[in-house]
Amino acid sequence: MISRRHFLQATAAAHALSLASGLGPLGRAAAQQRLTEADILRFEPVGQVTILHVTDIHAQLVPLHFREPSVNLGVGDAKGKPPHLTDAAFREYFRIAAGSADAFALTADDFTQLAKSYGRMGGMDRVARLVKAVRAERGTDKVLLLDGGDTWQGSWTSLQSKGQDMAGVMEALGTDAMVSHWEFTYGEERVKELAEKSKVAFLAQNIRDNEWQEPVFAPRKMFEKGGAKIAVIGQAFPRTPIANPRWMIPKWEFGLREDDISKQVEEARAEGADVVVLLSHNGYDVDAKLASRVKGIDVILTAHTHDAMPGAERIGDTLLIASGSHGKFVSRLDLDIRAKKIAGFRYKLMPVFSDAIAPDPAMKTLVETIRAPFAVELSREVGRTDSLLYRRGNFNGTFDDLIAQAMLAERDAEIALSPGFRWGGTLLPGDPITFEAISNATAITYPACYRMQMTGAQLKDILEDVADNIFHPDPYFQGGGDMVRVGGVGYAIDVSGSMGSRISGLTLLKTGQPLEASKAYTVAGWASVNEATQGPPIWEVVQAHVARQKTIRIEPNTAVKVTGA
């Protein structure tokens, strides 16, 4: 084990990446099929403060499968660097053995097989168990628990309770502060209501009311832990009004507001902060750029892009932490703070293997209470799948293929468009497709599945615009999602191209004919950010299709040809 740690630290130097203990001894334990809670929690404490970070839980109360992407391209400076590594390249960079627990948690290939060995991940009762264990070991007065947002949305129970279920769970977990993105899709009033009544500090330095340019939420909060003053600055997703319906938050403006972050850092230092933490929902690449431009931030806890990295990256004097999504991981960062600087640290991305971790009884009861009124709906089996159904990937996912096929069939459309959301669970071949599984991929507050005419030229321009939001070489122009999924159409994309020149070869798959620029096609889609979009909720469309098909089989998707990567 010692040799492994030394090896990792050597790697760290080579990559300017501080792996510290990484996943530590899991590889070995897993190889012996004896993964224990103690292995997951094992940590040699350092310094006087522990920061725990969870993010992008997407309202997943109970353990689930979530397959990481096999395609996650970086562009510009991010090309070929973590987190833009997948499968073998990811394992090689982080020195992870193929087939190990780490490999299952962090990479995509061989997912089905490994899922059978390692089981589901996450579950808020397991997360609570880890959090309590760390607090017991370190002392509650030394531990800060921070939530990176996208917490209140992503499940049927969160949609039905308008975020109340997760707000309650995170409060029960003793979360100190949070930031947000999808939370805003419950609308201004609801967000304010939940934020104001919660003990969890709802921070957002980058939201202003658009009439007077006044801050809507507290920008930061000072915490005293282990005798150190820790300033936590909150950063909501800067592009929320572009990426999600602006009409739901009509009085608020967002934006990155780099200069204002600098001011927050200065003010926090003037108030005596020993350490400045940016609790961010910017997305990893945006935060990496930010770290190189805004001075004085010690730690950025990243979110939004769902990256999980078993090591802290250092950019200048700033540490970047990437804690994954869906409750799969809890990050632990120990800081040794001396003379208002981080003199030393140790980091571990703790994987939440639900079979290895005992549920916390109080949280288990709370989760069961929340789910009980919906138990019948959630467990209702709509059909089964013969294929692995997953969402992540820059261009397609099999669950999205299913949603697109459902729209083509149920809405009698030639072409389907489905948003490149990065949240939603994974189903294994042979799994039942329950209503819960469908809602985990579709539960949003603007679910209408529209049907309309679009010309070939219009479709191309939509794809170009979305592609520019993902593959713009400047991270400040990136929105953080994946490419819009298409059904019924194939295309080629040169990710290294510029705005307007990435997409070519649009073909209607049914006929094999090129899309005609001026011809109108019938298109079905969902998650329009336009107010008053008409159509049935997408989960009803998917449900009807699955019920009709009974057994789902998704053939490999070869409709998108990628170059320039």
Partner 1 sequence: MAGPHAPRTRRAVLRLAALAAAAAVIGPDLARADAKAVEAELKKLFDGKTMAEGRVKLDVPQIAENGLVVPITVEVESPMTEQDYVKAVHVFADGNPLPGVLSFKFSPAAGRASASTRMRLAQTQNIIAVAEMSNGALFTAKAEVKVTIGGCGG
Strands, E, within 70-171: which ranges? 143-147
Nearest to partner 1 of 206, 354 (CB atom): 206
Q: How far apart are CA 557 and CA 565, in angstroms?
A: 18
Question: Could you say whether residue 511 binds partner 1 (CB under 8 A)?
Answer: no
Question: Could you say whether residue 515 binds partner 1 (CB under 8 A)?
Answer: yes
Q: How far apart are CA 295 and CA 261, in angstroms?
A: 10
Sole binder of partner 1 in the list 504, 522, 544, 562 (CB under 8 A): 504
Only one of the segments 9-17, 194-202, 403-411, 524-532 lies at the binding site for partner 1 (rule: CB under 8 A); that segment is 524-532
Nearest to partner 1 of 130, 243 (CB atom): 243
Minimum CB distance to partner 1, residue 525 (Å): 6
Three-state secondary-structure class, residue 302 = strand
Q: Which of 276, 304, 167 is nearest to 220 (CA)?
A: 276
Site for partner 1 in 299-328 (CB under 8 A): 304-306
Sole binder of partner 1 in the list 324, 420, 447, 487 (CB under 8 A): 420
Only one of the segments 63-71, 87-95, 247-255, 264-272 lies at the binding site for partner 1 (rule: CB under 8 A); that segment is 247-255
Question: Could you say whether residue 454 binds partner 1 (CB under 8 A)?
Answer: yes
Map residues 206-225 to x or -, x wherever contact with partner 1 holds by CB under 8 A: ----x---------------
**Cα-Cα end-to-end distance for the chain:** 37
Nearest to partner 1 of 82, 479 (CB atom): 479
Q: And the tokens for 298? A: 């010690």
Question: Could you say whether residue 533 binds partner 1 (CB under 8 A)?
Answer: yes
Sole binder of partner 1 in the list 111, 525, 537, 545 (CB under 8 A): 525
Q: How far apart are CA 233 and CA 210, in angstroms?
A: 21
What count of other Cβ atoms lies within 10 Å of the Cβ of residue 177?
21
Q: How far apart are CA 351 and CA 275, in angstroms?
A: 26
Strand order in the sheet with 381-385: 432-434, 381-385, 551-552
Minimum CB distance to partner 1, residue 483 (Å): 8
Asked if 433 contacts 547 with a C-beta cutoff of 8 angstroms, the reply is no
Map residues 378-417 to x or -, x wherever contact with partner 1 holds by CB under 8 A: ---------------------------------------x
Q: How far apart are CA 61 and CA 359, in angstroms?
A: 12
Site for partner 1 in 349-368 (CB under 8 A): none
Nearest to partner 1 of 100, 528 (CB atom): 528
Asked if 281 contacts 236 with a C-beta cutoff of 8 angstroms, the reply is yes
Asked if 490 contacts 510 with a C-beta cutoff of 8 angstroms, the reply is no
Question: Could you say whether residue 97 binds partner 1 (CB under 8 A)?
Answer: no
Sole binder of partner 1 in the list 503, 541, 546, 552 (CB under 8 A): 503
Q: How far apart are CA 501 and CA 515, in angstroms?
A: 16
Question: Could you say whether residue 254 binds partner 1 (CB under 8 A)?
Answer: yes
Asked if 552 contacts 430 with a C-beta cutoff of 8 angstroms, the reply is no
Nearest to partner 1 of 244, 440 (CB atom): 244
Nearest to partner 1 of 133, 286 (CB atom): 286
The whole-angstrom distance between residue 72's C-alpha and the CA centroid of its chain comes to 13
Q: How far apart are CA 368 and CA 552, in angstroms?
A: 30
Site for partner 1 in 123-182 (CB under 8 A): 150, 181-182
Long-range contacts of 161-164, Cβ-Cβ distance < 8 Å, separation of 24 or more: 161/370, 162/186, 162/190, 163/59, 163/190, 163/191, 163/194, 164/194
Question: Could you say whether residue 520 binds partner 1 (CB under 8 A)?
Answer: no
Q: Which positions touch partner 1 (CB under 8 A)?
A: 150, 181-182, 210, 237, 239, 241-244, 246, 253-255, 283, 304-306, 417, 419-423, 450, 452, 454, 456-458, 460-462, 465-466, 468-470, 476-477, 479-482, 484, 492, 499-500, 503-506, 514-518, 523, 525, 527-530, 533
